[in-house]
Structure 1
Amino acid sequence: MSEGTTFVQWRERARSEIKDERPHLRWLLITAAIVVVVGVLGGVLALLLA
């Protein structure tokens, strides 16, 4: 993410790109979002259990 870009801006840009011309990009973005969420949750659990 570039400096100053909020998650909402990133999400809206991703949605517009999906609508425009790249429907296959949707699965890539969904997979990336899942990986990020799992990574964050794993990190939080690791810190809590440490």
Structure 2
Amino acid sequence: MSESTSFVQWRERARSEIREERPHVRWLLVVAAIVVMVGILAGVIAFLLG
């Protein structure tokens, strides 16, 4: 029971921190998504040419 309570508290704290720092977190996620997409496209092109 205490584990689920601590998990709920941790989740709520993480959500409140994300709400407070939303622009920074949003840009970090956008940059990470772009890097992942570029990596996938590079891998597909290398696979097709290889």
Higher helix proportion: 2
Unaligned runs of 5+ in 1: 1-15
Partner in structure 2 of residue 8 of structure 1 = none
Task: Name the amino acid aligned to 2:21.
Answer: R
CA RMSD, 1 decimal: 1.8
Matches within 5 A, 1:1-50: 20-23=19-22, 24-50=24-50
Shift of the alpha carbon at 1:21? Answer: 2.0
Unaligned runs of 5+ in 2: 1-14
Asked which structure has the greater RCO (Cα within 8 Å, sep 6+), the reply is: 1
- SS of 1:28's equivalent in the other structure is helix
TM-score normalized by the length of structure 2 = 0.58
Instruction: Write the distance in 2 (CA, Å) between the matches of 1:27 and 1:36.
Output: 14
How high is the sequence identity, in percent, across the aligned residues? 56
TM-score normalized by the length of structure 1 = 0.58
